[in-house]
Amino acid sequence: MGKNVHVVKNGDRWSVKEEGKNTPLSNHRTQELARQNAVPIAKQNKSELVIHGEDGKFRDKDSYGNDPCPPKDRKH
């Protein structure tokens, strides 16, 4: 698995960042636009997409790698 991809609040924008890197890969007006742009990166990395709320706390996670314990939810 590659580096996890995070969607985080960055001032008045939403950033897509790879885990361990300070520089955002991209910045967006909304969290949903950031999430949409982060999905292909997480798929390419075969990693987790971690979405944070406005307060910076974990909000949601999707796995795009070989998850040995895949979730049973059917949100997508």
pLDDT at 1 over 80: no
Give yes or no for a contact between 55 and 47, defined as CB atoms under 8 angstroms apart: no
Average pLDDT in the 22-43 region?
97
Taking the domains of the chain in order of start, what are their residue ranges?
5-62
Token pair for 72: 């049973």
| Alpha helix segments (H runs only) across 9-73 | 31-45
Q: What is the pTM of this model?
A: 0.85
Give yes or no for a contact between 9 and 54, defined as CB atoms under 8 angstroms apart: yes
Strands 13-18 and 58-63: unpaired
Q: pLDDT tens digits for 42-58?
A: 999 999 999 999 999 99
Give yes or no for a contact between 32 and 46, defined as CB atoms under 8 angstroms apart: no
pLDDT at 29 over 70: yes
